[in-house]
Amino acid sequence: MLEDGTIWLYLRAQTGDAIGDAAFEYKPDSAGYEAVKKHIDPIASGQTKAVPPWPGTGPEKLP
């Protein structure tokens, strides 16, 4: 999390031969910011940490 509270997520998903990467920026006034912050809490300004999978989105949900 940046000093101004902005959260950057760098995400990777991999299943078999398929790989996807994405980056998302959540500023404190962005839609979804509170949900993202709650999911990764505790986090402090200047801190970097791994993001756990969101519930219900793991490979067990794939056909």
48 within some domain: yes
2 within some domain: no
Number of domains in the chain: 1
Distance in angstroms (rounded) separating the CA atoms of residues 57 and 61: 6
63 within some domain: no
* Structure tokens that stand for 10 in this block: 């760098």
pLDDT(50) > 80? yes
> For position 61, what pLDDT does the model report?
54
pLDDT in tens, 2-49: 999 999 999 888 888 999 999 999 999 999 999 999 999 899 999 999
Q: Give the number of residues written for the chain.
A: 63
1 within some domain: no
62 within some domain: no
CB 21 within 8 A of CB 6: no
32 within some domain: yes
Exposure of 28 in the CB half-sphere (CA atoms within 13 A):
6
CB 40 within 8 A of CB 49: yes
60 within some domain: no
pTM of the predicted model, to two decimals?
A: 0.74
pLDDT in tens, 30-40: 999 999 999 99
Q: Determine the structural domain holding residue 11 and report its residue range.
A: 7-55
